[in-house]
Chain A
Amino acid sequence: MALERSDVEKIAHLARLGLAEVEIPRTTETLNNILGLIDQMQAVDTDGIEPLAHPLEATQRLRADVVTETNRRDAYQAIAPAVENGLYLVPKVIE
């Protein structure tokens, strides 16, 4: 199934990527080429095969429920584009 322009616009929206109008035809063509490559995998018989997420099949470790991190708010806010009173600033969300 080939992607159409409207599919690419929808995917870009889901990914919150602002695509320039002029790029959309070329992006659509390239994505279709990549999906064509990926679709070769559909021919493989995987009946009864369990999906593999971690090569060593490791499960998540648990740690003791104690505070180990220190508060580094100032260090993290120092590299932000816009902050005020310890908060991150973004354009107004609620009118």
Chain B
Amino acid sequence: MHQLTLAQIARGLAAKDFSAVELSAALLARIQQLDPQLNSFITVTADQALAQAAAADARRAAGENGALLGAPIAHKDLFCTQGVLTTCASKILHNFKAPYDATVVDKLAAAGAVSLGKLNMDEFAMGSSNESSHYGAVKNPWNLERVPGGSSGGSAAAVAARLIPAATGTDTGGSIRQPAALTNLTGLKPTYGRVSRWGMIAYASSLDQGGPIARTAEDCALLLTGMAGFDAKDSTCVDVPVDDYLAALNQPLAGLRIGLPKEYFGAGLDGRIADAVLAVVEELKKLGATVKEISLPNMQQAIPAYYVIAPAEASSNLSRFDGVRFGYRCENPQNLEDLYKRSRGEGFGAEVQRRIMVGTYALSAGYYDAYYLKAQKVRRLIKNDFVAAFDEVDLIVGPTTPNPAWKLGEKSSDPVSAYLEDIYTITANLAGIPGLSMPAGFVDGLPVGVQLLAPYFHEARLLNVAHQYQQVTDWHTRTPSGF
């Protein structure tokens, strides 16, 4: 049963081949048996899941037949869940039970999805290896000595190991697409404002966006349909109608204009990953697409701009964790300043502290113009590059990451070397456009992801192209041995 996709589950439940309770119980047993090797869950909510599954079965018996009714999923542990721990993989929230549900959690629950628990991640979503979690690193099911990527590393590992068919994630600089690439999954970061951020613990508010991680584009379409939409509670959520993602999947690709940015193929990219990108382009050409070279001249500046904007916004967002109203408080504070400093110093891990300090410095008196304002100007140049490119093409294709999954510990002593791995993903966050990573082959037994980028609100096009590619290839069906 664990090999079923969300689409197959929907058909199986509708045909009464199995019940939602049977399915969730089977996956909960699998999590208990296999997750100790992976560490992908922080919290498993078995009792609540079985109650939700029973409620879904009752709704179905009463005549409902929604695509997510009874579908088992799990949430990245930064989506607030009322009465269930939401830790953000941080000591400072080790005891935090949110007093409300995130909009995404609410919407998926209302659609009948069954949440099996909360998934491990890099602390406060700051990282690309899942090694900064207070709850320990997550292992890549394809090779237990390697990272699953991050920050949605628990989401990716759990789905890749067939513990759950799909999961929610969030993407601030690549945190859905990069772990999807490193674990042979399909992951989508929607347009900024497409999915509500309400109840999603903030890292960098002008970049953060929730989205689905699953094995297929079709499943991403199913899950995104349940997540997307306007929410008055998120002031940056956009009031634009949600497309019919499922209906778009089967559109033919004839006439699709693909752009290949020449800057993508420079030094730093593993040549075998470049070959995988070109092989995807060949398949898409067979399906009727045309290809031309384009240019994104400011791409290299995305990393410095991102590592100003994201830490600056983080330093502001994370000032709310002060040991007073919720979360961790240090022992025996001598005075109020000691309470703040020790609660934060003891509660935040090293990478989170580094980013808070970089952001505090960038925003401090005398440096604001040189750092934050400068980075926002570079951000506009990056957006302008995409706007110009999408005048000429419908879709941009390239690598998701320059290299496959690295070894646990390999980059932990040098944060800058890990930051450089984000080169292909962060431009989409800075510009706010949607991006999708899909499985496209293997290098030394490790999965390779190819990234598709589209203009604002063209999630349906990304899902359509990925789905058509997955009809003529089988990379996405490969399963890691042992799972």
Q: In the complex, how many angstroms separate the beta carbon of A80 from the nearest chain B beta carbon? A: 5
Contact indicator A17/B374 (Cβ below 8 Å): no
State whether the Cβ of B406 lies closer than 8 Å to any Cβ in chain A: no
Minimum Cβ distance to chain A for residue B364 (Å)? 6
The segment from B218-226, B303-311, B391-399 that touches chain A is: B303-311
Please encode chain A, from 46 to 73, with 1 for each CB lying within 8 Å of some chain B CB and 0 for all others.
1001111111101011010000000010
Q: Which chain A residues lie closer than 8 Å to B358 at the CB level?
A: 31, 34-35, 38
Q: How large is the interface on B (under 10, 10 to 19, 20 to 34, 35 or more residues)?
A: 35 or more
Task: Tell me, yes or no, whether B238 is within 8 Å of chain A by CB.
Answer: yes
**A50:B364 contact, CB within 8 angstroms:** no
Nearest chain B CB to A49 CB, angstrom units: 4
Is the beta-carbon distance between B333 and A91 smaller than 8 angstroms?
A: yes
Contact of A37 among B191, B304, B336 (CB under 8 A): B304
- Contacts of B144-192 to chain A: CB distance below 8 A: 191-192
B334 adjacent to A52 (CB under 8 Å): no
CB-based contact A56/B336 at 8 Å = no
Among residues 330 to 362 in chain B, which have CB atoms less than 8 Å away from a CB atom of chain A? 333-342, 344-346, 348, 353-354, 356-358, 360-362
- A24 → chain B closest CB, angstroms: 11
- Contact residues, B266-280 vs A (CB, 8 A): none
Contacts of B342 in A (CB 8 A): 18
The answer to whether A90 touches B336, judged by C-beta atoms less than 8 angstroms apart, is: yes
The answer to whether the Cβ of B235 comes within 8 Å of any Cβ in the partner chain is yes
Residue from the list A30, A46, A80, A82 in contact with B415, Cβ < 8 A:
A30
B290 at the interface (CB under 8 A from A): no
- Residue in A16, A19, A81, A92 whose beta carbon sits within 8 Å of that of B340 in the complex: A16
* Contact call B353/A42, Cβ cutoff below 8 A: no
A22 at interface, CB cutoff 8 A: no
User: Which residues 375-401 of B sit at the A interface, judged by CB distance below 8 A?
Assistant: 375-381, 383
Q: How far is the CB of B213 from chain A (nearest CB, A)?
A: 22
Is B432 in the interface zone, CB < 8 Å from A?
yes
A90-B336, A90-B339 known; A27-B324 Cβ under 8 A: no
- CB pair B325–A18 under 8 Å, yes or no, is no
CA gap between A82 and B416 in the complex, in Å: 39
CB within 8 Å for A20 and B345 given contacts A53-B206, A81-B324, A91-B334: yes
Smallest CB-CB A-B distances: 6 pairs: A55-B432, A18-B345, A51-B376, A18-B341, A41-B304, A46-B377
